[in-house]
Amino acid sequence: MIAAGYLLVALSVSTAEWFDVDLATQPSRIALAVAIVAVTTLAVLLRRRRPLTMALIVIAVGLVSVAQTVAVDAFAVPVLLYSVAVYRGVALGWRAFAAAAVVAILAPFLPWAAPQAPGEPEQTIISVVLFALFGLLVGINVGNRKRYVQALVDRAAQLARERDQQAQLAAVAERTRIAREMHDIVSHSLTVIVALSEGALATKDPTASRAAMTAVTDAARTSLVDMRRMLGVLRETGSAPLAPQPDAASIPALVQTFRGLGLPVTLTDSGPPTDDPSILLAVHRITQEALTNALRYSERPKRVDVVITSYDDRIELIVENDGSIPDAPSLGAGQGLLGLRERVAFQGGRVTAGVVGDRLWRVHAVLPRDPGAARSRPTPDPRGTTP
């Protein structure tokens, strides 16, 4: 539409001169005018695809159009400079304007330029330069606004991508947390259930067997409630209520459970207690995993110690058993210890596990009360050298 409008204006301006031209004596001027109109109209039509190239073509046409009394390309120059500033940038726009100004200044004085009245070349130069400057300034304003809006759109798209990436990272972290919790719950519960079931099969006392199976039922129900609480899928009416998160009071109950399974567990807890639920959950899960491994892998341990020492800046947890089998191949997949390291690292602490001496297996964890504190400061082991 803009190219069609320009064509109408150019034809109307050119035909106004054709009435004063003798077509028989000066046909070349009419042909030149038609060619100039055709070239400049094509340049206006293609101004978005090749704005700089089309602008240079129109500026070059100015060197030829001075043979006409009326230079129709003077109307195309502002349009092309506007397009350069909008689609190619401000710097190229000013360079194209400088080229147009130089051509406008030199063209009236070329040998083939149409004769003009005194003072008219200067007026033509000023008019062309002002028209070109007007088109350039409008193009700079519109182009800057266009680029600003595009920058806002790009920024919004970038923020949307970052939001999606953060959501994906959060989902991965949540899946890792759920997998870690599932391992702790299922491993502990199945170990307890297997141990109680073997005891129920080994005994011939109906009362003891019934008590063992009752304990199996309680362990399975507790595990189910824990998984429902963790996954948040408890929706059925009449289901068991949600169990609270493990806290400091749950450690003695956990130790008592393993003591009932035959482990000679002793618990020592000293120092100022903490009420941070994340730390309490970590202490509970570490103790649970260490005692579960002692029940599964140790050979007739005579001593299983759980020592929890609270300081002003950290909490230390040591779980030891003397039933380690020297040079015995690992029977597990190692996911439990990996989960412990991930859990403790999330709290900003550290954990070590390994054999000390001949048959002593020790799990030593240090959890800072403030996760933002220094996470790599060495902490002395009150029981000896940390493995």
Nearest-angstrom CA–CA distance, 38 and 40: 6
Q: Give SS3 for 317.
A: strand
Per-residue confidence (pLDDT) for residue 118, from 0 to 100:
63
Please give the angle made by the CA atoms of 120, 126 and 127, to the nearest 5 degrees.
85
Position with higher pLDDT, 386 vs 259: 259
Buried/exposed 170-196: b ≥16 CB within 10 Å, e otherwise: eeeeeeeeeebbebbbebbbebbbebb
Model pLDDT for residues 77-89, shown as the tens digit of each residue: 888 889 999 988 8
Name the pLDDT band for 306 (thresholds 50, 70, 90).
very high
Which pair of tokens denotes residue 141? 């304003």
pLDDT at 382 over 50: no
Over residues 195-209, mean pLDDT: 77
Model pLDDT for residues 148-178, shown as the tens digit of each residue: 999 999 999 999 888 888 887 877 776 777 6
State residue 367 phi and psi, 5-degree precision: -120, 120
Position with higher pLDDT, 201 vs 42: 42
Per-residue confidence (pLDDT) for residue 68, from 0 to 100:
62
Over residues 25-47, mean pLDDT: 77
Over residues 226-244, mean pLDDT: 55
Per-residue confidence (pLDDT) for residue 55, from 0 to 100:
86
Model pLDDT for residues 243-260, shown as the tens digit of each residue: 556 666 788 888 888 888
Please give the angle made by the CA atoms of 337, 339 and 343, to the nearest 5 degrees.
115
Per-residue confidence (pLDDT) for residue 267, from 0 to 100:
93
